[in-house]
Chain A
């Protein structure tokens, strides 16, 4: 079976796919990185779509502008939005999915029907979901008037039109916040190592915390976190924090995707041997105890996978926001929408590419280690 002629045929059959993916993934990524370092579409003297457009290399200017310029504050809002969206969306899907999976694990009648119902939104387009929820979350209708059906007052909440921002902070403070959160995590780890008497690990972690603090005090952030053009204007034109307008989008996203986590968890729970559960029951564990001490620990790797898959989906989110809030809603802007409006409306190809490269960067950080561990354990 392994003769050379057949092997060559095999390689030739794989080749078209390799070439196509080589061009459409890796060459294009290279092109995008290259474009992001030019003035393509930023130079008013050069119409970006003309055949004779002259494009010059500008280094990291586009990135610096995104991080500092008064006119690019929407990019900073989009980053903060993605951060909060990811946290609430991932946490929501995991909690709802786990709840549904545990409910369906109770040998209920009609289990198949329930599963079909909880999973059906996964078969819909984000555009369909967005359209439906946009109607349901009209400020003076839909969900807001549900309480009136039982004689209560309507809810007064503008959903995607809300202008409120919770947990506000200053963009200039982000490096400080990140540093303190990082050091805090390291210190907690150090205390836990100390309690387990793992002194070497504790030493490493504590040393890392001290080095981090020193580097921070030496002003290292000033080099990688450039100062804003007009720092005073930033909080008024675009306050940073959790934009409440995202809440409705998060609810719709959880409605659509929690069936997915449910399916992952059901597969995981079914993988826990019945003997293991039975043994725990014989040892006197309650039904809840069985979940808490036997099943949940075994689900940890699945929860991690779910966090990574959902996390990378939320970094890329585009269609749902587009359909629910439109591409021009300043409060629900996300990087995916920004690439669209910059690139395909304003023809600002270079800065659109810079935003796209930053998206790719964040996705790559979480996906590359994931792929690596998944495929490595696959080989055994």
Chain B
């Protein structure tokens, strides 16, 4: 009897310990969120180093309108960029995945790893030739050029996700339809595509967040009026005499679209995330 309660006690303290640890980690993970929000809503006159942790005395929305005035066109640039690049790279990735998983292309065993290598390279390694190339084909500096860049460097991951998705569709299904006379396109439109809607959700979410958040191509491959939002944020926060309400409001604005997607469709986001480690 005594021993039983002692064991119960032990289990009870372990449970409490687990929840304390979880809440502590939650607090650590959310501290930056607290700081961003209180700073973004403070009157700039209220912001100084000593008052970092205090709540604003009143909600000051003006930082957001100031940020949007500065960000406005860049937000639009990012939207155009993300829509164009995400749609194109998912369509091409789906086609590649279909071909690589269901059609035995000669040499596919070494073509696929060669394609995948493109998602691991440091993009600095191709940055200068890319700059020359974009200048030569007259696409340097604008949004169409940046879309092209993101489509191409998005191909490895979109191909990988779709290929792994299509491998699970049984070959017998396709073969049965093929006997009935279905060809390359009909097999895709009637069988493969309808089954790949979840695959498209994963890929679209992944590409959307990656391209929205990207900075290296954004800062090196665009001229002033085509810059995406990450470049705008870096400029807002760079420099020495910063009024911190603006970068914090800017960080919120820049983070919101991918965050909303993450919160609403988190499950699919995690699948994209784990796909990046090839097999998960």
Contact assessment for B248 and A135 in the assembled complex, using a CB-CB cutoff below 8 Å: yes
Contact assessment for B96 and A142 in the assembled complex, using a CB-CB cutoff below 8 Å: no
**B115 contacts A by Cβ under 8 Å:** yes
Report which residue of B52, B124, B234 has the largest number of chain A beta carbons within 10 angstroms of its beta carbon.
B124
**A181 contacts B by Cβ under 8 Å:** no
Docked complex Cα distance between A43 and B66 (Å): 45
Instruction: Tell me which residues from 335 to 358 in chain A have a Cβ below 8 Å from any Cβ of chain B.
Output: 335-336, 339-340, 343-344, 349, 352-353, 355-357
Docked complex Cα distance between A6 and B278 (Å): 29
Docked complex Cα distance between A116 and B214 (Å): 22
Give the interface SS of chain A, mostly helix, strand, loop or mixed. Answer: helix
Interface mask (A100-130 → B, CB under 8 Å = 1, otherwise 0): 1001101010000010111111111111111
Using Cβ atoms and an 8 Å threshold, which residues of chain B touch A344?
127, 131, 220
Instruction: Tell me which residues from 227 to 280 in chain B have a Cβ below 8 Å from any Cβ of chain A.
Output: 230, 233-234, 236-238, 244, 247-248, 250-251, 254-255, 258-259, 261-263, 266, 269-270, 273-274, 276-280
**B69 contacts A by Cβ under 8 Å:** no
- Nearest residue in A to B130 (C-beta to C-beta)? A28
**B35 contacts A by Cβ under 8 Å:** yes
- Identify the stretch in A57-65, A186-194, A310-318 within 8 Å (CB) of chain B at 4 or more residues: A310-318
Q: A-B pairs with CB below 8 Å: how many?
A: 290
Report which residue of B96, B100, B120 has the largest number of chain A beta carbons within 10 angstroms of its beta carbon.
B120
Contact assessment for A264 and B280 in the assembled complex, using a CB-CB cutoff below 8 Å: yes
**A42 contacts B by Cβ under 8 Å:** no
Which among A146, A267, A353 is the interface contact of B128 at CB below 8 angstroms? A353
**B194 contacts A by Cβ under 8 Å:** no
Contact assessment for A375 and B113 in the assembled complex, using a CB-CB cutoff below 8 Å: yes
Instruction: Tell me which residues from 291 to 322 in chain A have a Cβ below 8 Å from any Cβ of chain B.
Output: 305-306, 309, 312, 315-316, 318-319, 322
- Identify the stretch in B20-28, B56-64, B195-203 within 8 Å (CB) of chain A at 4 or more residues: B20-28
Contact assessment for A145 and B237 in the assembled complex, using a CB-CB cutoff below 8 Å: no
Docked complex Cα distance between A23 and B276 (Å): 23
Contact assessment for A118 and B96 in the assembled complex, using a CB-CB cutoff below 8 Å: no
Which among B53, B114, B277 is the interface contact of A146 at CB below 8 angstroms? B53
Known: A1-B175, A106-B18. A24 touches B152 (CB 8 A): yes
**B55 contacts A by Cβ under 8 Å:** no
Count the A residues whose beta carbon is within 8 Å of the partner chain — how many? 103
Interface mask (B144-173 → A, CB under 8 Å = 1, otherwise 0): 000001011101100100000000000000
Interface mask (A8-28 → B, CB under 8 Å = 1, otherwise 0): 011101101110110111111
Docked complex Cα distance between A294 and B103 (Å): 41
Docked complex Cα distance between A17 and B118 (Å): 12
Using Cβ atoms and an 8 Å threshold, which residues of chain A touch B123?
316
**A158 contacts B by Cβ under 8 Å:** no
**A132 contacts B by Cβ under 8 Å:** yes
Using Cβ atoms and an 8 Å threshold, which residues of chain A touch B128?
31-32, 35, 343, 349, 352-353, 356
Contact assessment for B156 and A374 in the assembled complex, using a CB-CB cutoff below 8 Å: no
Using Cβ atoms and an 8 Å threshold, which residues of chain B touch A141?
48-50, 52
- Nearest residue in B to A34 (C-beta to C-beta)? B129
Using Cβ atoms and an 8 Å threshold, which residues of chain A touch B14?
287
**A371 contacts B by Cβ under 8 Å:** yes
- The distance from the CB of B88 to the nearest CB of chain A, in whole angstroms, is 11
Using Cβ atoms and an 8 Å threshold, which residues of chain B touch A10?
99, 103, 105, 184
Interface mask (B120-150 → A, CB under 8 Å = 1, otherwise 0): 1111111111111100000000000000010
Contact assessment for B126 and A29 in the assembled complex, using a CB-CB cutoff below 8 Å: yes
Contact assessment for B124 and A340 in the assembled complex, using a CB-CB cutoff below 8 Å: yes
Known: A123-B262, A264-B280. A11 touches B29 (CB 8 A): no
- Nearest residue in B to A35 (C-beta to C-beta)? B128
Using Cβ atoms and an 8 Å threshold, which residues of chain B touch A353?
128
Report which residue of B100, B177, B277 has the largest number of chain A beta carbons within 10 angstroms of its beta carbon.
B277
Contact assessment for B25 and A118 in the assembled complex, using a CB-CB cutoff below 8 Å: yes
Docked complex Cα distance between A128 and B233 (Å): 8
- Nearest residue in A to B258 (C-beta to C-beta)? A123
- Nearest residue in B to A127 (C-beta to C-beta)? B230
Contact assessment for A371 and B278 in the assembled complex, using a CB-CB cutoff below 8 Å: yes
Report which residue of A24, A108, A118, A322 has the largest number of chain B beta carbons within 10 angstroms of its beta carbon.
A24
Using Cβ atoms and an 8 Å threshold, which residues of chain B touch A255?
28-29, 32
Contact assessment for B129 and A28 in the assembled complex, using a CB-CB cutoff below 8 Å: yes
**B95 contacts A by Cβ under 8 Å:** yes
Instruction: Tell me which residues from 43 to 100 in chain B have a Cβ below 8 Å from any Cβ of chain A.
Output: 48-50, 52-53, 92, 95-96, 99-100
Known: A14-B100, A108-B22, A359-B122. A322 touches B35 (CB 8 A): no
Using Cβ atoms and an 8 Å threshold, which residues of chain B touch A11?
99, 103, 105
8 A-B residue pairs with Cβ-Cβ distance under 8 Å, sorted by A, are A1-B175, A6-B103, A99-B21, A116-B263, A116-B266, A255-B29, A360-B125, A377-B279
**Chain A residues within CB distance 8 Å of chain B:** 1-2, 5-7, 9-11, 13-14, 16-18, 20-21, 23-29, 31-32, 35, 99-100, 103-104, 106, 108, 114, 116-136, 138, 140-142, 145-146, 149, 255, 260, 263-264, 267, 287, 305-306, 309, 312, 315-316, 318-319, 322-323, 326, 335-336, 339-340, 343-344, 349, 352-353, 355-357, 359-360, 363-364, 367-368, 370-372, 374-375, 377-379
The 8 A-B pairs at the shortest CB distance, nearest first, are namely A141-B49, A1-B178, A125-B213, A31-B129, A10-B103, A123-B262, A28-B126, A360-B125
